[in-house]
Structure 1
């Protein structure tokens, strides 16, 4: 599973263990099936920093 950030212009969805999860613009979520044009993988330390800033 990867930490991914929504880099698109609107809310987007991905899947984690078969369950649908949605992310607002700029949000970091955990996902194992996602569209690379809407999400970019982030390192664990960067994901923690983004979560703290919200």
Structure 2
């Protein structure tokens, strides 16, 4: 393998590894989105039947 091919391979693998680590870190550090509970928070009291 000549030196140009080796440099290209190492750069390509380095870029892929850096992008993978960046997005993995981003996924781990992003806080979860708080979603409302559809059964208790979104229902109106006047619509709900209490039989």
- Measured against the shorter chain, the TM-score band is under 0.3
Question: Normalising by the residue count of structure 1, what TM-score does the alignment of the two structures yield?
Answer: 0.22
**Greater share of residues in helix:** 2
Q: Which has the higher contact order (CA 8 A, sep 6+)?
A: 1
Question: Normalising by the residue count of structure 2, what TM-score does the alignment of the two structures yield?
Answer: 0.23
The higher radius of gyration belongs to: 2
